[in-house]
Structure 1
Amino acid sequence: MFEVFLKELKELLRDRKTLIFVVALPVAIFPVIFALMGFLMSKAALEAEQKVHNYAIINAEYAPEFKDKLFFHKNFKLVEGDFKTVEELKQAVKDEVIDVGIVIPSDARDALENGSSNEWQIVFNDASSLSFIFTRIKEMAEEFSQTLQSEQFNKLGIAKEHQESLLNPVVLEKVDTADLRENLGEKLGALIPYLLIPLVLAGASYPAIDLGAGEKERGTLETLLLTPIPRTELVLGKFFTVLFTSLATALITVASMGVWMKLASSFFDVEKITDAFSMLGFMDFALILLLLIPLASVFSSLVLAISIYARSFKEAQNYMGPLSMLAFLPLIVAMMPNMELSMSTAMVPITNVALAIKEIIKGTVDYSYVGMIFIATAVLAGVLMAACVHWFKKEEVLFR
């Protein structure tokens, strides 16, 4: 078995595609992709922040404070036009003459004296990327509302220092019992398994395809079967090769992301992320790795069995797509709100590991659940490994 493992590992290391997939992608390409995505998102946000939007306003004279604030705002430009109705503003937005239209009622001030509020209409395309316009206008409208409130309080003879307490008679102060690590872990903890677990599967997929379907295409499988090595040992040798590359991909990626994050901290503000990971000790990383080993064994058994069954490299690749989708579903479940590690979720494959990693990062993990998850995943891996060995012994599977 060990000789088979070394043979397969040497062959994989000689393959440039494998080296690119297992080493180059985690070290360089993945971080570059994430950095590029971050750059494009920040650039899009900056462009949106600096973009000037055309607007038209009806009955502006009834809210002069709001009109002036909007007129002098850096992101808005007034479009002169004889707009009288909401329908005309709608058509102007559709014709892209303006980006937003505002209708102020003529009783903007008088309504308050009659004990009622007035309704302003904001006309814009909410399906477009301009949806944040409403938020900006709402902020300015709220400032005008405070002006109206102050006017009414002054008419009632209420001193300015008492107005705030009447508007906000109850102020809530949040006293958080969670420490910094738990807070940051709750926000970031769900993302780590979402990155790690697919990498474990991806690190197993390509080598497995090459060791099974690839050998069929090259015609080397028959030669390997003629050697005086039991088929069980042949499968286990291939299995441990796939397991090794699976874990290596995940570990190299984590190490690479750590190095890149360290470099990025010199140029960008990622203090919160680095603070969260600096709180993790050696035991925490060891527990995460301990949970990934049986999960990687599960994935390795599955992809190797699929590769052995497939007639060709291309057919094996076609099977890997649905498997990847099935692996993502439990991860999505783990990211759902209020999803916590419990006796029931500890028995759900993949979801249990994702939730346990999240709890480890938060520092609130129950070690009894970790042991339970490790045993349950290891048992599942053993069953799948045995099925893979049985699969490999069938001539109708090997020579389809």
Structure 2
Amino acid sequence: MLWQVAQRDLLSTLRDRRTLANTILIPLLVLPLLTLGMPLLLGKLMGGQVSERQKVGVVGTLPAELRQILTQNRALGPEEQVQGVELVPVTDPLKAVQSGEVEAVIRVPQPLPTAAGAAQGRLELYAKLGNLKSQSGAYAKVRSAVQSYNRDLTRRALVGAGLSETVLEPVQVRAVDASPPQEKRAGMLAFLVPMLMLSFLLNGGMATALDSTAGEKERGTLESLLVTPVRRGEVVAGKLLATTLMSLATGFFSLLGFLATGLVAARLSQRSVVEAEAMQAMGGQLTLTLGSLAAMALVVMSVALLISAVLIALSIYARSYKEAQTYVSPLSLLIVFPAVMLQFSDFLKMGDWLYALPLFGSMVAILDVVKGQITLGHTLAAVAGNLLGTAVLGWLAWRSFGREEVIFRN
């Protein structure tokens, strides 16, 4: 009887093609687009700035050596070059940058030194500092050229004094990234994966939960179901099963997109230097071992049960489908706000109790899976917390189905 109730609700949901699109296409495409598409797009844009020769205005006189460093090309990789800039004279630095005539302007209020130690020169660099295009293009190239010019002057002064370059830096620091390989590949966008996966689980089960409770009350078909020889507990369990299956279907396709992202990223890892650096920083190269895949599956199934129980418990109180939507809409905020906080998870003291919190503990566990840090204990704690929450909410839903003032509230 439980499966017959679930099958009845599933057939009602699957008749809507829009529901199928939300269940299959969106989860399959959104996660790869964000975790892989954004790094590739950023790398492409930054790579375009590197290989493009921008116009830089000049007010005043630049030393010949500095002009040469600014305009010459520099090798970046085996087949890549950082293009120099094109220097053009301007009169008003602010107007030239704001109008888009040039991307940056170098203003030299006084002659710059051509040797280190004689005097300290100063130049002003005008650019739109809040503009990512300018930051990665003309502004970055001018800053790099000036630093290179300073090093050349300092090196010649030291050689002339019979000193080595190391006199300016007696202790050299070399940073070594001690992060696990998977955490390196996950990048800065790793915190988006738990938010997206839980959002997909919520959206996948929402249509079935609302239609099988508030929708049936509105159509008057819930009463006909309750007069059949089916126990109230079987009705609740059947509707919970149908909602969970739809939610899990969405979770499955989002997980499929997650794995496809890792495979595609692995093939794209041998790209240009700039694009490779962008992918490494932002993320996109996500892979799962069999153990982490099993942990992800367990956590996702328990979250689907919990979310389905929440949806059923809330929707049964609504008089209509529209009213039920107003009840469940704030649930997305319960996912988005904690998930956004996960980007600061490094500042949290990750105690074992945190994983036992329903829903939030699952987000932390999924983030650990993405970073390759998940443990069996944390997985079981997250699953247990979700199952406990499901049991409580399932009991509340069962009580609601046994109260006539709730069932006939419309």
Please state which band the TM-score falls in when normalised by the shorter chain.
0.7 to 0.9
Which has the higher mean CA deviation after the structures are superposed, 136-145 or 21-30? 21-30
Task: Say which SS state the counterpart of residue 236 (structure 1) adopts.
Answer: helix
Q: CA deviation at 1:100?
A: 1.5
Answer whether contact 1:18 1:207 (CA < 8 A) is retained: no
Aligned to 1:156: 161
Structure 1: tracts of 5 or more residues without a match: none
Q: CA deviation at 1:101?
A: 1.2
* Structure 1 CA distance for aligned equivalents of residues 264 and 175 of structure 2: 35
* Structure 2 CA distance for aligned equivalents of residues 176 and 56 of structure 1: 39
Aligned to 1:147: 152
Query: Which of 363, 370, 379 is 1:370 aligned to?
Result: 379
Which has the higher mean CA deviation after the structures are superposed, 317-326 or 178-187? 178-187
Aligned to 1:67: 67
* Structure 2 CA distance for aligned equivalents of residues 206 and 26 of structure 1: 15
Answer whether contact 1:53 1:99 (CA < 8 A) is retained: yes
Query: Which of 89, 96, 105 is 1:92 aligned to?
Result: 96
State the aligned residue count.
387
Answer whether contact 2:214 2:315 (CA < 8 A) is retained: yes
* Structure 1 CA distance for aligned equivalents of residues 28 and 183 of structure 2: 29
Task: Give TM-score, length-normalised by structure 2.
Answer: 0.81
Task: Say which SS state the counterpart of residue 277 (structure 1) adopts.
Answer: coil
Q: CA deviation at 1:91?
A: 2.8
Q: CA deviation at 1:119?
A: 2.8
Change in CA separation of 1:261 and 1:356 when aligned onto 2, cut-off 3 Å: closer
Answer whether contact 1:340 1:355 (CA < 8 A) is retained: no
* Structure 2 CA distance for aligned equivalents of residues 227 and 21 of structure 1: 33
Which has the higher mean CA deviation after the structures are superposed, 330-339 or 320-329? 330-339
Aligned to 2:310: 302
Structure 2: tracts of 5 or more residues without a match: 74-82
Aligned to 1:245: 246
The one-letter code sitting in structure 2 at the alignment partner of 1:277 is: T
Match runs of 1:1-400 below 5 Å: 1-27=2-28, 31=32, 41=42, 44-61=45-62, 63-72=63-72, 74=83, 76-81=85-90, 83=91, 88-109=92-113, 112-113=116-117, 117-128=120-131, 129-132=133-136, 133-158=138-163, 162-163=164-165, 165-174=166-175, 179-181=180-182, 183-184=184-185, 190-259=191-260, 262=263, 269=270, 277=287, 280-281=289-290, 283-336=291-344, 337-339=346-348, 341-398=350-407, 399-400=409-410
Q: CA deviation at 1:258?
A: 2.8
Instruction: Report the identity percentage.
Output: 24
Which has the higher mean CA deviation after the structures are superposed, 125-134 or 42-51? 42-51
* Structure 1 CA distance for aligned equivalents of residues 130 and 67 of structure 2: 26
Task: Say which SS state the counterpart of residue 330 (structure 2) adopts.
Answer: helix
Task: Say which SS state the counterpart of residue 90 (structure 1) adopts.
Answer: helix
The one-letter code sitting in structure 1 at the alignment partner of 2:103 is: D
Change in CA separation of 1:367 and 1:33 when aligned onto 2, cut-off 3 Å: closer
Change in CA separation of 1:50 and 1:319 when aligned onto 2, cut-off 3 Å: farther
Change in CA separation of 1:24 and 1:53 when aligned onto 2, cut-off 3 Å: closer
Q: CA deviation at 1:296?
A: 1.6
The one-letter code sitting in structure 2 at the alignment partner of 1:76 is: V
Q: CA deviation at 1:149?
A: 0.6
The one-letter code sitting in structure 2 at the alignment partner of 1:139 is: S
Q: CA deviation at 1:14?
A: 3.5
Answer whether contact 1:204 1:243 (CA < 8 A) is retained: yes
* Structure 1 CA distance for aligned equivalents of residues 47 and 174 of structure 2: 33
* Structure 2 CA distance for aligned equivalents of residues 366 and 173 of structure 1: 31
Task: Say which SS state the counterpart of residue 26 (structure 1) adopts.
Answer: helix
Which has the higher mean CA deviation after the structures are superposed, 16-25 or 241-250? 16-25
Answer whether contact 2:6 2:242 (CA < 8 A) is retained: yes
* Structure 1 CA distance for aligned equivalents of residues 59 and 270 of structure 2: 43
* Structure 1 CA distance for aligned equivalents of residues 197 and 121 of structure 2: 53
Supply the RMSD in Å over aligned alpha carbons: 3.3
Change in CA separation of 1:21 and 1:318 when aligned onto 2, cut-off 3 Å: same
* Structure 1 CA distance for aligned equivalents of residues 98 and 369 of structure 2: 52
Task: Say which SS state the counterpart of residue 57 (structure 1) adopts.
Answer: strand
* Structure 1 CA distance for aligned equivalents of residues 98 and 19 of structure 2: 53
Which has the higher mean CA deviation after the structures are superposed, 170-179 or 366-375? 170-179
Which has the higher mean CA deviation after the structures are superposed, 242-251 or 297-306? 297-306
The one-letter code sitting in structure 2 at the alignment partner of 1:17 is: R
TM-superposition CA deviations, 1:39-95 (whole Å, max 9, x none): 65455445544554332213324x2211223244646333334x3xxxx31233234
Q: CA deviation at 1:172?
A: 2.5
Answer whether contact 1:111 1:118 (CA < 8 A) is retained: no
